[in-house]
Structure 1
């Protein structure tokens, strides 16, 4: 499989977890009404997803080192199809949470296995450029997910979103069955899980990367979990929340494009991450100041622009010292930051305070970068 076709498939697989959540986000208010639960409980479905996702990256990361990248991807997508069927059949909110947990566990395959196969094929500066291209493509995810999700909910309710996710996972499974290559090195030995774990727990660079990935993701996904209820309180429709995804996608795409341009001009990744943290903090302050009006979405643009700049640089360099154990190291790295993302989103759901959450994420990111320097 040539590099262009592999990148096209990798983009689709990396977009899948993000599209799954942004597609689901406009359905939160409808889910709250259907199951007679409040905003805090409905928003917890995203937290459950991310916590399960954290353990999923360990499962699929280990499996892709043991049995290969291709069979792991096919198994994960098949599990997601099953979780979607379960979600369509449940009649209680606890049943929906269980289905979401299984979906999160399964969707993790799209993140950790895809990143592993990219690290198999590309190295060094070339890998950073690949992640920059991925960042530009991923910028379309919020627009696709929010707009499509809002349209489906408006027309048919939350069950249409679940059906759409089922069809999407099935289409990706068929594409992988036909086209996904096996990139696992032939003589790769599966590293010991706990030995790798203890090594990474003592690695300060890994912890800095973990915190940065978590903080920028909490900032982004707190909008998806709290945004529907903010729009509802402001008297704005779910469709308008869906349209906001188009605006935010432009910001994320601009951030990824700027990142790629500045890297080519010789800017270091650490310098760009610091700049992104300043931008995220500024955006958070703007959201806090304008949260009484729908114009707060314009300030949110700065937050997603910062995400598009920071994440490719953090991910591109995080596992540079773990080249002989990418699957296991990538799985544990994902476990670390997705546990933090899940915990952070739980706090955000409890507080129902988007502006304050964004300010905290930007300030903490600056603190982490400051300690690094």
Structure 2
């Protein structure tokens, strides 16, 4: 086994990969609704289906990375994602497109759980929190890459252009990972049965609160990707103009990540930063609800994204400290919990079709949840 640290740039790319896959798709939602003759709500439901399959993928790849190794699991997941993207390109029925989204989401999940597991293999303690924070800074460009490129592709070539871009991404990532990705699985990795581990984690109240917080902050972010295309269309703006909003959100994510890194360096504890982020998200969400009749809603939306950049690295770095000996399997089950919750949140978003209401509701729950965390 090779315990070399994976190249930082490759880890960044693989961690950005699932988010780019989703954000590049968002500008095509209006095209999909038109092309397949489905409602806005049905088109938005492709996001909740995506995350439901993503949750199952997290369990599969997380478990496999303990059993067969991090590198083989990553390569198999990328191959599965590529197959799903090819099927989406060939789809002529909405049901086929949904099936393709399920397959590619299942494969794309490998970029989340296996990458996080490799980081937990390689770093510990406060160093791990700082690494997640640095990853957050790097991830701030993914909405730009996703939304801007997705907007341009959708504007010029429709949804087929978007899925062609996703296919290119699958090929490039697969080739680079085959060439440069090392194995990081520790010799001390324990191969325990999944069911006893699941029972242990189900009884962990703090872990459930962490899963709910991750789901809530992601629901706020991906709720924007799900609902904002229709807000922009209602304001008479194009898919490419919606795509450019990714630059605004990227600045906010960068600010949140840099602020989080600064506050950690000043000695602020992760739990206090999570509470700060929850309060900020609530206030900004209410402001979005009050202003979403105009493009000015992007300003408070930036506050929501700043909160995301603060909260997520701290929740993820603290969540599995008691499960290091089974990091892959524990990460898989933890991911299953929060992605199932995220899928539920996005299903609710598709039903209510009101971004401000969604953000405010998630903010209230995040404040309540962070306030109940033990000190």
1:30 and 2:45 correspond: no
Work out the CA distance in 2 between the residues paired with 1:274 and 1:187.
Answer: 35
Secondary structure at the aligned position of 2:322 is classed as: coil
Instruction: Provide structure 1 residue ranges, at least 5 long, that are not aligned to the other structure.
Output: none
Q: CA deviation at 1:188?
A: 2.5
Shift in CA distance, 16/43, structure 1 to aligned 2, threshold 3 Å: same
Q: Does 1:293 align with 2:301?
A: no
Q: Which secondary structure state, in structure 2, belongs to the residue aligned with residue 157 of structure 1?
A: helix
| 1:322 counterpart SS class | helix
Once the 2 structures are TM-superposed, how far is the Cα of residue 186 of structure 1 from its aligned partner? 2.8
Q: Which residue in the other structure is 1:243 paired with?
A: 244
Please list the CA deviations of residues 224-248 of structure 1 after superposition, one character each: whole Å capped at 9, or x if unmatched.
Answer: 0001011111111112111110000
**1:187 Cα deviation (Å)?**
4.5
| 8 Å Cα contact 2:5-2:122 kept in structure 1 | no
SS at match of 1:189: coil
1:302 counterpart SS class? helix
Shift of 1:4: 8.0
Number of the residue aligned with 2:354: 353
Which residue pairs with 1:272 in the alignment?
273
For the residues of structure 2 that align with 1:2 and 1:333, how far apart are their CA atoms?
24
Which residue in the other structure is 1:105 paired with? 106
Q: Distance in 2 between matches of 1:166 and 1:95?
A: 17
Q: Tell me if 1:308 matches 2:297.
A: no
Deviations 1:87-132 (A, max 9, x none): 0111100000000000110000000000001100100011000000
Task: Map residues 40-189 of structure 1 onto 2, 5 A cutoff.
Answer: 40-189=41-190
Kept after mapping to 1: 8 A contact 2:3/2:182: no
Q: Quick check: 2:44–2:227 contact (8 Å CA) kept in 1?
A: yes
2:346 counterpart of 1:328: no
Q: Secondary structure at the match of 2:7?
A: helix
Deviations 1:113-162 (A, max 9, x none): 00001100100011000000011111111111000000001111110100
Q: Note if contact 2:3-2:183 (Cα within 8 Å) is conserved in structure 1.
A: no
C-alpha separation in 2, matches of 1:191 and 1:160: 44
Correspondence for 1:230: 231
> Over aligned residues, Cα RMSD in angstroms?
1.2
TM-score (norm 2): 0.98
Q: Structure 1 runs of 4+ off > 3 angstroms?
A: 1-5
Does 1:255 pair with 2:252?
no
Question: What is the Cα deviation at residue 326 of structure 1?
Answer: 0.3
Q: Deviations over 1:250-289 (max 9, x none)?
A: 0011000000000000001111111101111111111111
Please state whether the residue corresponding to 2:358 is helix, strand or coil.
Answer: helix
* Contact 2:253 2:305 survives alignment (8 Å): yes
Quote the offset at 1:170 in angstroms: 1.0
2:319 is equivalent to residue 318 of structure 1: yes
**Relative to structure 1, is the Cα distance of residues 295 and 3 closer, same or farther in structure 2, using a 3 angstrom cutoff?**
farther
What is the deviation of 1:5?
A: 5.8
Q: Could you say which residue in structure 1 is the equivalent of 2:193?
A: 192
Q: Specify the SS of the correspondent of 1:247.
A: helix
SS in 2 for 1:321: helix
Q: Could you tell me the TM-score, scaled by structure 1's length?
A: 0.98
Aligned residue-pair number: 373
CA distance in 1, matches of 2:223, 2:88: 23
> Aligned to 1:91, what secondary structure does the other structure show?
coil
Asked whether the 8 Å contact 2:5–2:182 carries over to 1, the reply is no
Tell me if 1:11 matches 2:12: yes
Note closer, same or farther for the CA distance 1:270–1:3 as it changes in structure 2 (3 Å cut): farther
Corresponding residue SS for 2:186: coil
- CA distance in 1 between counterparts of 2:371 and 2:186 reads 38
